[in-house]
Amino acid sequence: MSFGCQTAPVPSEVREAEIQEQDLWRAGASLYAGQDHAAYLQLLKSARQVLEKENFKLGWFRDYRRVSRDFAAALDAGAALKSRVEIHKSRRTAELSASVAIVRGKLQTLDNLTLSLVERGQARRQLTRASVLLAETDVLLRQARFDEAASKLDSAAALASEAEATVVSYIARYLDPGQVRSWKRAAEETISESRKKGITVLIVSKLERRLAIYKNGAVIRSYDVGLGFNGLADKRHSGDNATPEGRYSIIRKIPSSLYSKALLINYPNEEDKKWFAQEKARGRIPKSIGIGGDVEIHGGGQDTLTRGCISLDNDKMDELYGLVEVGTPVTIIGTMELENYVIKAIRDK
Amino acid sequence: MKNIVKGLTLALVIVFAFTSCAKQPIQQMDAAKAAIQGVVDAKGGLYAKDELNRLNGDLQAAMDEVTAQSKKFFKKYGKAKEMLAAVVTNADAAKAQIPGRIAEAKAAAEAAVGEAKTAWDEAKALLEKAPKGKGTKADIEAMKADLAGLETAMGDVQAALAAEDYFGAKDKAMVIKEKALAIAEQVNAAIAKVKR
């Protein structure tokens, strides 16, 4: 018989508790349940002190039963703590995910808006940067790095708001009730002329990208159209890539052009020339820049961008060409709708 | 007489022994704290998180041992000194691993940035092949703006690399690469539409 040579093995709970302590730290227990975590650590410390006391004894005299009980109690406390931490993290994940969904929805609305408005500048760049930040937020959320995720989300939301402001600024005229009423009046007067004279007229609504043919005051056809690179702006001078607004008429029918059939309109009209002269006199338009011209309605596709012309799909252009004559009035407006789709999209997002 | 001297000497030795053990290991405590701080300063919070956590736990245990001994009449700090020495050794070992981990993280970030740049360059080259000027498709123009937005985001990646935030740089670069690839796909689809 050898005294103290055969020692009882240290209970497995000791090693399990070590692993659990690390797991709880990695799970962020001190962050999400600080007080409970401190209590758990105290329990663990007491259990370790008991273990140390037993280890001081000669092996023959060691009794790890109390050690096993104390570590088991610590393990139970640790498991309960882990559960609380997981609940807290789930709650936090759900809260942040809901916020991410809101920002994502806003970005989607603005993405669709900028595409339909052909906003090719600052707003789209801001949206792209916001979407990068949102994707990074997703990564951080999956890693349960909540504070960093919240910070990235704030940045994404801020950029989305900047993009929204850019879009609103880009289409400010379309949100102005006075301007919209003025456009609506011009369109209604043209339609009234169609009714009274029994003639065909064209109304182009730039925001909706629609060209409508009226005969005897009633719509007989309507088509989707493309506009200039800067189509939503009112044409002011040569090279501004804007589609003009106002009352015009067809002055020439071109059966074969670079873009299938074409209808030349009389831009600049008298009103355009008067405004241009005033702006030149005020020095707001450089002397070297002309008023521009050669604005047509032509084929080539309703999803193309032009230098200010109005483009249709070739088959629709063929149809339109057959329904109009030289002298047919063409009224180009921004929109007739006070509650247009842009306002609705920005309000309802 | 000899016995008295021997007795006195023995008494002195005993008192000396207890006295020398009775001093708190201040130097060792400071060394352990400094060693852990060294790990923190070497960016251990980012690159040696687990080790840092263990070191803090071990230091706390050593400090608890010092506190426990200081309350006793016959203080014995031998064990505390051993624990503190172990903290220093482990902290130095953890600190030694950090440069290698930083180099790995840097290499991974740079690789991700390289892939993002390649994807961006390919999307840009495709867009340059797409029809330009009048007659171009509106969605192609939108993609040019999107790519410009990604270029700005690449600037943020470079800033993260310069700040040695390699994990952040890698995450951002991977997102940019995915978006550039998506743009390239869309450009190809848009070009195919134009050709029809």
The verdict on A121 touching B (C-beta cutoff 8 Å) is yes
CA distance B126 to A345: 32
Residue A218 confidence (pLDDT) above 90: yes
* Range among A94-98, A112-116, A172-176 rated most confident: A94-98
Q: How far is CA A322 from CA A175, A219, A309, A315, A326, in A?
A: 35, 16, 19, 11, 11
What confidence score (pLDDT) does residue A30 get? 87
**Cα gap A15→A41, rounded to integer Å:** 15
CB contact under 8 A, B53 and A127: no
Contact A118 B134 (CB under 8 A): no
Give the count of alpha carbons within 13 A of A230, CB side only. Answer: 12
In sequence order, what E strands does chain B have?
none
- Beta-carbon count within 10 A of A88 CB: 17
> Considering the entire predicted model, what is its pTM?
0.80
Count of CB contacts below 8 A, A vs B?
A: 87
Q: Does B72 share its domain with B26? A: yes
Domain count, chain B: 2
Of the CA atoms within 13 Å of residue A229, those in its CB half-sphere come to 13
Residue A320's H or E segment, with its range, is helix A314-323
Give the bridge partners for A310, in sequence order: A297
ipTM of the modeled complex? 0.77
Local confidence band at A9 (pLDDT 50, 70, 90 cut-offs)? confident
**Are A183 and A130 a contacting pair, CB within 8 Å?**
no
Residues B156 and B90 in one domain: no
Residue B142 at interface with chain A, using a CB cutoff of 8 Å: yes
Residues in chain A with CB shorter than 8 Å from the CB of B178 are 135
> What's the confidence (pLDDT) of residue A206?
96
The answer to whether residues B107 and B95 belong to one domain is no
Least confident residue range of A83-92, B17-26, B93-102: B17-26
Spell out the CATH class of A177-337: mainly beta
Place A4 in a pLDDT band, splitting at 50, 70 and 90.
very low
Q: Indicate yes or no: CB of A125 within 8 angstroms of CB of B64.
A: no
Rounded to whole angstroms, the Cα distance separating A222 from A204 reads 9
Among B101, B127, B152, identify where a domain stops: B101
Q: What are phi and psi of A320, to 5 degrees?
A: -60, -45
What average pLDDT does the segment B146-151 reach?
94
Please state the rounded mean pLDDT for residues A40-50. 92
Cα–Cα–Cα angle for A135, A137, A142, rounded to 5 degrees: 100
Do the Cβ atoms of A177 and A338 come closer than 8 Å? yes
* Total count of residues recorded for chain A: 349
Inter-chain touch A305–B135, beta carbons under 8 Å: yes
| B81 and B150 share one domain | no
Considering the domain architecture, whether residues B110 and B125 belong to the same structural domain is answered as: yes
Of B84, B101, B118, the residue that ends a domain is B101
Burial class (CB within 10 angstroms; exposed 0-12, middle 13-18, buried 19+) of A212: middle
Spatial distance between the Cα atoms of A313 and A2, rounded to a whole number of angstroms:
102
Rounded to whole angstroms, the Cα distance separating A73 from A117 reads 65
Measured distance CA(A112)–CA(B34) in Å, rounded: 57
Q: Nearest CA of chain B to the CA of A208: how many Å?
A: 15
Weakest-pLDDT range from A109-113, A128-132, A183-187, A314-318? A109-113
CATH code of B63's domain: 1.20.140
pLDDT at B194: 63
Are residues B137 and B107 part of one domain?
A: yes
Query: Distance from B8 to chain A by nearest Cα, in Å?
Result: 32
**What's the mean pLDDT in B101-122?**
96
Do B13 and B86 have their domain in common?
yes
User: Which residue in A125, A127, A305 is closest to B141 by CB distance?
Assistant: A305
Indicate left, alpha or beta for A290 from its phi (over 0: left) and psi (-120 to 50: alpha): beta
Task: For residues B78 and B16, state if they share a domain.
Answer: yes
Q: CB of A125 within 8 Å of any CB in chain B?
A: yes
- Domain end, chosen from B101, B133, B159, is at B101
Rounded average pLDDT over A244-268: 96
**H/E stretch holding B100:** helix B78-129
List phi, psi (to 5°) of B110.
-65, -35
How many angstroms away from the CA of B27 is the closest CA of chain A? 25
pLDDT of res. A2: 44
Asked if B141 and A118 touch (Cβ cutoff 8 Å), the reply is: yes
Domain coordinates of chain A in residue numbers? 12-170, 177-337
Claim to verify: residue B135 and residue B170 sit in the same structural domain? yes
Percent of chain B with pLDDT over 70: 90
- Mean residue pLDDT across chain B: 88
Mean predicted confidence (pLDDT) in B69-92: 93
Which of B50, B120, B124, B141 should we substitute to test contact with A (largest number of A Cβ atoms within 10 Å)? Answer: B141
Chain B within 8 Å of A132 (Cβ-Cβ)? yes
A129–B contact, CB cutoff 8 A:
yes
Average pLDDT along chain A: 92
Residues B110 and B183 in one domain: yes
Q: Looking at residues A30-57, what average pLDDT do you find?
A: 90
- Structural domain of residue B162, as residue ranges? 102-195
Q: With an 8 Å Cβ cutoff, are A304 and B141 in contact?
A: no
pLDDT at position B20 over 60? no
The Cα of B14 is separated from the nearest Cα of chain A by a number of Å equal to 23
> Cβ contact (<8 Å) for A259 and B145?
no
- Helix (H, G, I), strand (E, B), or coil: what is residue A243? coil
Contact B139 A45 (CB under 8 A): no
pLDDT(A210) > 80: yes
- Residue B110 shares a structural domain with residue B177: yes
- CA distances to A251, B55, B61, B92, B95 from B34, in Å: 88, 12, 16, 10, 12
| C-alpha–C-alpha distance, residues B156 and A234, integer Å | 37
Torsion angles phi and psi, residue B184, rounded to 5:
-60, -40
Q: Hey, of A30, A120, A260, which one would you mutate to test binding to chain B, going by the most B CBs within 10 A of its CB?
A: A120
Mean pLDDT of A246-270: 96
